[in-house]
Structure formats: structure tokens, C-alpha cells
């Protein structure tokens, strides 16, 4: 009994102590939405800080925040680039909903006035290898033909490059263009370029936020290896009807927005169209080159806990040579989203997404029309759970159903001689579940860790080739070359049958350790799986490249990426330095046998072999964040290589199984971006780019056969094009009479490639008919290009 009495007394003491401590530490939650005052547009990434507690949060993709604090009086500090800071005294005795509206800074010269506490919050966050650009910063960057451009802007960032002028897509940290996940309002975009890379498909007027993840990618993203380009469209003005647009040298744009229900709902419509074909017609040139696109978005707040959004994108490109050739391609995207707030700590987003990438070709000289589609239906359900200020969870599900229609050929005349044919359609499903945690372990140590499980199913199809030993590629010992295997026959499967399944666990981890108030060290690791493959033997994607799903003969690509970074703020945050080193290792990277033909190939497995790739490098980003002169300096040193060894000891593999440079290897990549605000009337912008020339192949000899000269090539990508560099400048005139009137205008004047550098897009070799000697011919896309555009809003 004495023991039981002692136990009871101890239990009662502990109970009272715990109860007292719990009561003394009673906590409540402040949550809400932060938007800008003029149009009611929600703001992404606003910092809500508590300087006295050394803690804070940032708003999510829909402007929502949640923070839990001890009972009592607190001072909230809200800061966001380009907006006036807000300081709010709060007496916290219960859970409260607190929405804020932020006012834009009247003077652009003072727009980056951020407190040290905000910068400390950013230094402490474990997220690394991420760059964010606003629409305003993108519009300040000089671009070809005066059109602000998302893709051209991210090419100025460290670790990002492309395959040259006029090339589609972009490359991140030595990865291929198909290894980038491009999202527009969460919908997948398969081709990000207009006019084969001269413009991107993203209308900057309709863009709210652009975020590029190069490493340490959160578990909610998957399906690609190299990067995630996450773009969110604006929601539209909830308070008043507005219009803005611009008239440029070869294209114009117009945006219309306004309220559906004052203060609760809004609409946005933005369109662009080019008119190059009109100038060609005036010059008696029957060639065509044009594009147009339309961005739409509707948003409505049903009540305090429910918001719905309907957004869409439609774009088309047309490129033709006389009446003999016409190429048409483009994206169609529709997305319905429902935001629901279960509680002040649990935010959810449900998305239903439809996407269709179309590409077509008409060749009158051959008498046929070609049409292809990639259609996908995507269901996403994501949750953000604010457990405590030190622990936040993201978790959810994602399911994508794919319908690949590689091509349908139709005769375009009765006497063409072409027989109608359709390549075999392919079907697949990609399911994923994920959980991601951001965990503050101590004052100086914050950890982000997560796990994604992905499951890919390749469904049945008509006419699947059967090969001996399941080997669609054979090695000819006599000629020492790889050749297409002869199928033993074909098998037909119902759509409900399964041809192949793949499962992958994809762990993610990022860690931030704060050295002091101004600097931190970060490290990250992520494993990712990619089940779709862009089959292209050109240096950059083209509309006729083939996307193929993993299946019986194609394994998914798998990546492991490691990164280590050092971050420091200088001179009270006026300057900042970001440095990172990275290493990437990729399995099952597709390579092509010599002489591979990819166009209209219904047995693509006969010309590809699995290999491996690796990339590693150093990135530096130095920013000037305040004052009249702002900008950044970016430098990347990197290597990007791949190899395909033989499948057994008797095979040499591709390139004799040796490592060779990928077409997107750039040893040195240096860029400078600067903007200068002279006064409230004139501003000036410039950027300079230098890149090591991309790898290529030059002939090392030639032989004469039957009167023909046949070039001889050595190992792959052992030569390089000349180094690439250019300088762009622009000036913006904002009339002072804009003040006090509804119609506001500005003029933008620019020069792309100011000193007329004729950068080589390619170098070919041919015989000079006069001298009989072989000579190199350089093909360049742009010399100096002047531009002028007129922008307006009211």
C-alpha cells in the first residue's frame, strides 16, 4: 500500500504539473489569406514573421498562411517584394482568421525594402536549388523582338541553358529538355515554345509567379528528372474592370480582367497573336510563320472556406513553306480546382486537369497529312497541414492517365498514292502518393524530408512486336554495327490488359543549418523516376519528336541527385550570394544506334539502347537587391556526359562504350542581368551571356564510293561549335503624364545582340563547286535585332 500511495502521489503531481504547463503554454492559431489591395490578387510567398519569437511562415500557392502562437500579445510583420510592409499587433486568446491586403509601393526605386527578419527566414528554410521570378522582373529583361519571355528569362539563371538560338526547350544542370516538368496552373505542358523556340507559350501579362526547382525537389512533384518549372496564372481583378496590352514588332497582346461578383469572384482573358505572315505576304513571300494563344481564368469564393478556379490555355503555331509544307502544333489545357479549408491548420486543393498536345504536318509534295496527339487526364488531391510552427506536412495523391496517339497518316488528294495508316496507340497510367515534412529541429537546424511512391502501368495495345530473346536490337558481328531485329510476329492485347508495371520509391531530403544571422549551409538529395521519354536525335526538341511511355522494351529513367550549398547575405541584405555544387547520376537513359530513324517509326524499340548519364558542376549567383541599380551575376561550370556500354562482352556499345559529352554540355555559362532606374520616366536594362559552344560532330575524313564523297566521323561529340555570346539592351520610357490619369502607357526600345555577333546554330561541310575543296558553312539565326513596343493599361 505505501508503494501505491507513493505512486498515486507521484501520478497526481505529474498530472498537475503537466496540466499547469499545458495551461501556461496554451496556443492558438492565426490563419488567413493575403492579397494585393488593388485587384484582390492573392500573393504567393508573403513572409509573415514574428521577430521576437524568431519564427515565421510564408503564404502558399493560393495566398494562404497559418501560424500557431502562444496565448498573449504578438506583433506580426508582413513583407513582400514590391509592397509596403505591414505591422499588426494581435491579442491572441482564441483561434482567429485574419486576412490582409498589401499595398504596392508607390516608388519602384524603393520596392525591395525588406527587413532582416524576412531574410533570416529565407536563409533558414531548407529549400535549395530554387529560383523565383515575378512577372515584373521578367518584363524588365531584354528579349528578342521586344516580347517579355519566361523561358528566355530563366536562361539567365545558373544551371540553365538551351541548345542555341531558335532552339526549343531548355536544359537544367546538364539534363535533357524532356527531363523538365513544365506546369501551368498545375497542368502539364509538353511543348513550351512558339515558333521553334523564338518565344515561349507563356504570356507574361497573365503570369503571377514563376518558380524553377533544379534540385532538392519536394515530394509533391514527380515524373521528370532534371527540374520543375511551376507557373501560376493571375486570377484577375476582383474589384474593377481593367485592360492592358502591348503592340510589338511582330506580335501584339491584350488582357481583359474584372469582377464576376464584386470582391468575391473574377475573370481573366489574355490573348496574343503574331503577324509575321502579313509582312511575308507584303514581300510576295508565300511562306508562313505565326502563332496565337489564349489564357483564361475564372475564380470565385463560395464562402470563407471554399474557393473554386477554372483556368485554361489554348495555343497554336503554324509554319509553312509555300503550298508544299505546313506544320501545326500546340497545347490545349483545362483545369478545375477547388480549395477547401478543413480547419485553420489544414488546407486542401483538388484539381481535375485535361491536357492535349497536338502536332500535325501536311506535305503536298508527298500527298499526305500527319496528325499526332498526347492526351492526359490528371486528378490531384493535395493537402498542406500546419501541425505546429516547427512541423508542417504536405501530402496527397496524383493520378495521370495517358493516351499516346503517335501518328495518323491520311492522303490529302485522291491521286496522292498514299494509303491511310495509323500508328499504334499506346495507353498508360501513372499513380503517385507522397508525404513531405518541413521540420525545425532546433534554432539553427531545419530539415525537409519526404517520400514519393510512384506506380506506372503500361496497358494493352494492338500489334506489339515479338522478338527473339525479347531483343529488338541485334548486333551484327560481321559489320560491327547495331541493327533492327526482325520481329517474329505481333501480339494483340485488350486495353484492360497490362503489358508492364513499374514501382519506385523516391525519397527526398533537404537540410539547412544556420551558421549565423547572415549565412547558412544547405544539403539536399532527391531520387526521381521518369516514365515518359522524348525520342529525338536532334540537339533540341522539335514538334515531330516522339514521346514514348515506358513498357516492355523501355525502362523508366532513374535519377539520384546530390547538392551542397552555401548562402550568405551581405551588407544588411542589399547583396546576396548563393553557391551550390551538384552531382547527378541517371540510369536507363536512352541512346540511339547509328542511323536511327525516329519519324513515323511504329517500332521505336528497334533503334534505341539503354545507357547511363551523369552531370556535375558548380553554380554561383550574386545578387544586388536594392537601389537604383539591381540585378544579378550568374556563373556555372559543369559537365554533362552519357555512355551506353555493350550488353555483353562481344558488343562494343555506343561510342565503344566510352563516356561522351551530351549535346547540352556547356562547360562555362556566364550571364549578367542589370536594371537601372534613372528616374520615374526612364529605366534601362541589359543582359550579357557567354556560353561554351555546344558539342557536335565534324567529319574527320572522307572516302570515294561510286563517284560519291562519303564523310567519315569519329567518336561522338568530340568537337564543339564556336563559343556563344551576345549583349542585349533595352530602355523603357514611362511618360510623366501617366500620373493622375486612367490610361497609362509606356514605350520600350531594345536591341537584341547589340554588337551583331553571328553565333553559330550549326556548322555543315560541303564541297565548293568552284574550287572543289571542302568548306565549313556556318548557319546563324540572329544578328542584331532592334525592337520597339508600345504597352498600355487602364
Is pLDDT of 730 > 70? yes
| Residue 151 · residue 193 · CB < 8 Å | yes
Tell me, what's the pLDDT at 478? 86
Tell me, what's the pLDDT at 17? 42
User: What would the DSSP string read from start to end of 737-758?
Assistant: GGTTSS-EEEEEEEEESTT---
Least confident of 26-35, 121-130, 367-376, 599-608: 121-130
DSSP 8-state code for residue 375 = E
By DSSP bridging, strand 64-70 and strand 55-58 are unpaired
Percent of the chain exceeding pLDDT 70 equals 89
DSSP 8-state code for residue 562 = E
pLDDT per residue over 610-668, tens digit each?
A: 999 999 999 999 999 888 998 999 999 999 999 999 999 889 999 999 999 998 899 99
| Residue 381 · residue 391 · CB < 8 Å | no
Distance, C-alpha 113 to centroid of its chain: 29
Distance CA 355, CA 106 (A): 40
pLDDT band at 686 (very low <50, low <70, confident <90, very high): very high
| Residue 244 · residue 792 · CB < 8 Å | yes
Q: Which residues fall within 8 angstroms of residue 78, CB to CB, at 6 or more apart?
A: 34, 46, 47, 48, 49, 85, 86, 87, 88, 100, 102
Tell me, what's the pLDDT at 609? 93
Percent of the chain exceeding pLDDT 90 equals 54
> Which whole number is the average pLDDT over 190-214?
87
pTM equals 0.90
Distance CA 731, CA 235 (A): 29
Could you tell me which residue, 715 or 546, shows the higher pLDDT?
Answer: 715
> Which whole number is the average pLDDT over 56-71?
90
How many other β-carbons are positioned within 10 Å of the β-carbon of residue 645? 17
Give the chain's largest Cα–Cα span.
116
The mean predicted confidence, pLDDT, of the chain is 86
By DSSP bridging, strand 180-184 and strand 227-233 are parallel
Distance CA 616, CA 51 (A): 39
> Which whole number is the average pLDDT over 291-320?
93
Q: How many helices (H) and strands (E) does the chain have?
A: 5, 53
| Residue 408 · residue 424 · CB < 8 Å | no
Is pLDDT of 112 > 50? no
Q: Coil, helix or strand for 356?
A: strand
How many other β-carbons are positioned within 10 Å of the β-carbon of residue 499? 19
> Which whole number is the average pLDDT over 246-264?
90
409: left (phi over 0), alpha (psi -120 to 50) or beta: beta
- Distance in angstroms between the alpha carbons of the first and the last residue of the chain: 85
Is pLDDT of 109 > 50? no
> Which whole number is the average pLDDT over 520-530?
96
pLDDT per residue over 156-165, tens digit each?
A: 999 999 877 7
> Which whole number is the average pLDDT over 257-279?
88
Tell me, what's the pLDDT at 114? 32
Q: Which residues fall within 8 angstroms of residue 16, CB to CB, at 6 or more apart?
A: none
DSSP 8-state code for residue 409 = E
How many other β-carbons are positioned within 10 Å of the β-carbon of residue 718? 15
Q: How far is CA 470 from CA 486, 554, 591, 604, 746, in A?
A: 11, 12, 18, 14, 64
Is pLDDT of 597 > 90? no
Dihedral angle over CA of 41, 46, 51, 57, nearest 10: 110
**What's the number of CA atoms in the CB half-sphere (13 Å) around residue 315?**
29
CA angle 756, 759, 765 (to 5 degrees): 130
Tell me, what's the pLDDT at 540? 52
pLDDT band at 138 (very low <50, low <70, confident <90, very high): confident
Amino acid at each position: 500500500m505505501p508503494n501505491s500511495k507513493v505512486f498515486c502521489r507521484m501520478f497526481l503531481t505529474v498530472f498537475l504539473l503537466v496540466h499547469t504547463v499545458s495551461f501556461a503554454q496554451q496556443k492558438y492559431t492565426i490563419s488567413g489569406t493575403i492579397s494585393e489591395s488593388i485587384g484582390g490578387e492573392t500573393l504567393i510567398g508573403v513572409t509573415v514573421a514574428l521577430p521576437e519569437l524568431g519564427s515565421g511562415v510564408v503564404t502558399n500557392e493560393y495566398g494562404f498562411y497559418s501560424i500557431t502562437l502562444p496565448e498573449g500579445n504578438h506583433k506580426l510583420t508582413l513583407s513582400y517584394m514590391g509592397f509596403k510592409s505591414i505591422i499588426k499587433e494581435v491579442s491572441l486568446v482564441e483561434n482567429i482568421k485574419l486576412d490582409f491586403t498589401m499595398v504596392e509601393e508607390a516608388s519602384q526605386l524603393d520596392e525591395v525594402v525588406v527587413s532582416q527578419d524576412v531574410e533570416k527566414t529565407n536563409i533558414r528554410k531548407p529549400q535549395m536549388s530554387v529560383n523565383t521570378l515575378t512577372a515584373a522582373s521578367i518584363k524588365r529583361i531584354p528579349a528578342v523582338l521586344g516580347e517579355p519571355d519566361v523561358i528566355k528569362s530563366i536562361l539567365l539563371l545558373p544551371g540553365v541553358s538551351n541548345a542555341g538560338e531558335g532552339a526549343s526547350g531548355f536544359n537544367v544542370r546538364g539534363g535533357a529538355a524532356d527531363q523538365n516538368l513544365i506546369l501551368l496552373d498545375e497542368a502539364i505542358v509538353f511543348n513550351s515554345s512558339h515558333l521553334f523556340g523564338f518565344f515561349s507559350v507563356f504570356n507574361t501579362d497573365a503570369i503571377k509567379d514563376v518558380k524553377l526547382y533544379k534540385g532538392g525537389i519536394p515530394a509533391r512533384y514527380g515524373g521528370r528528372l532534371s527540374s520543375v518549372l511551376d507557373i501560376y496564372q493571375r486570377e484577375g481583378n476582383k474589384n474593377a474592370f481593367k485592360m492592358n496590352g502591348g503592340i510589338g514588332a511582330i506580335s501584339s497582346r491584350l488582357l481583359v480582367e474584372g469582377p464576376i461578383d464584386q470582391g468575391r469572384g473574377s475573370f481573366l482573358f489574355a490573348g496574343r497573336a503574331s503577324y509575321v505572315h502579313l509582312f511575308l505576304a507584303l514581300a510576295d513571300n508565300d511562306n508562313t510563320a505565326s502563332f496565337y494563344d489564349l489564357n483564361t481564368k475564372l475564380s470565385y469564393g463560395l464562402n470563407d472556406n471554399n474557393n473554386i478556379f477554372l483556368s485554361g490555355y489554348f495555343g497554336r503555331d503554324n509554319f509553312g513553306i509555300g503550298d508544299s509544307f505546313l506544320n501545326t502544333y500546340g497545347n490545349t489545357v483545362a483545369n478545375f480546382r477547388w480549395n477547401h479549408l478543413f480547419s485553420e491548420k489544414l488546407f486542401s486543393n483538388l484539381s481535375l486537369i485535361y491536357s492535349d498536345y497536338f502536332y500535325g504536318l501536311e506535305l503536298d509534295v508527298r500527298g499526305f497529312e500527319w496528325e499526332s496527339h498526347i492526351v492526359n487526364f490528371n486528378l490531384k488531391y493535395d493537402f498542406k497541414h500546419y501541425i505546429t510552427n516547427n512541423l508542417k506536412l504536405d501530402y496527397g495523391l496524383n493520378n495521370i492517365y495517358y493516351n499516346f496517339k503517335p501518328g495518323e497518316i491520311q492522303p490529302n488528294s485522291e491521286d496522292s498514292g498514299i494509303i491511310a495508316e495509323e500508328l499504334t496507340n499506346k495507353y498508360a497510367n501513372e499513380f503517385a502518393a507522397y508525404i513531405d515534412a518541413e521540420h525545425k529541429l532546433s534554432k539553427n537546424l531545419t530539415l525537409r524530408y519526404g517520400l514519393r511512391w510512384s506506380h506506372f502501368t503500361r496497358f494493352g495495345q494492338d500489334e506489339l512486336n515479338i522478338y527473339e530473346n525479347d531483343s529488338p536490337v541485334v548486333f551484327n558481328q560481321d559489320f560491327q554495327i547495331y541493327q533492327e531485329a526482325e520481329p517474329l510476329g505481333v501480339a494483340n492485347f485488350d486495353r484492360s490488359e497490362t503489358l508492364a508495371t513499374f514501382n519506385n520509391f523516391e525519397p527526398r531530403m533537404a537540410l539547412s543549418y544556420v551558421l549565423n544571422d547572415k549565412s547558412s549551409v544547405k544539403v539536399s538529395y532527391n531520387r526521381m523516376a521518369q516514365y515518359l521519354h522524348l525520342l529525338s536525335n536532334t540537339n533540341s526538341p522539335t514538334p515531330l519528336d516522339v514521346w514514348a511511355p515506358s513498357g516492355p522494351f523501355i525502362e523508366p529513367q532513374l535519377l539520384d541527385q546530390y547538392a551542397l550549398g552555401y548562402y550568405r547575405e551581405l551588407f544588411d541584405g542589399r547583396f546576396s550570394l548563393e553557391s551550390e555544387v551538384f552531382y547527378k547520376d541517371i540510369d536507363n537513359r536512352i541512346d540511339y544506334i547509328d542511323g536511327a530513324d525516329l519519324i513515323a517509326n511504329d517500332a521505336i524499340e528497334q533503334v534505341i539502347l539503354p545507357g547511363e548519364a551523369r552531370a556535375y558542376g558548380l553554380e554561383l549567383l550574386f545578387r544586388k537587391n536594392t537601389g537604383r541599380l539591381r540585378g544579378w551575376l550568374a556563373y556555372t561550370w559543369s559537365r554533362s556526359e552519357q555512355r551506353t556500354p555493350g550488353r555483353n562482352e562481344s558488343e562494343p556499345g555506343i561510342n565503344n562504350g566510352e563516356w561522351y559529352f551530351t549535346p547540352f554540355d556547356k562547360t562555362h555559362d556566364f550571364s549578367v542581368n542589370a536594371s537601372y532606374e534613372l528616374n520615374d520616366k526612364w529605366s534601362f536594362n541589359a543582359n550579357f551571356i557567354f556560353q561554351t559552344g555546344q558539342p557536335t560532330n565534324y567529319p574527320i575524313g572522307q572516302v570515294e564510293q561510286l563517284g560519291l564523297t562519303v564523310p567519315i566521323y569519329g567518336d561522338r561529340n568530340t568537337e564543339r561549335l564556336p563559343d556563344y555570346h551576345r549583349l542585349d539592351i533595352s530602355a523603357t520610357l514611362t511618360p510623366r503624364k501617366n500620373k493622375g490619369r486612367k490610361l497609362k502607357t509606356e514605350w520600350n526600345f531594345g536591341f537584341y545582340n547589340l554588337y551583331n555577333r553571328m553565333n553559330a546554330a550549326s556548322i555543315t561541310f560541303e564541297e565548293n563547286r568552284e574550287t572543289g575543296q571542302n568548306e565549313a558553312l556556318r548557319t546563324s539565326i540572329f544578328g542584331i535585332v532592334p525592337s520597339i513596343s508600345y504597352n498600355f493599361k487602364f
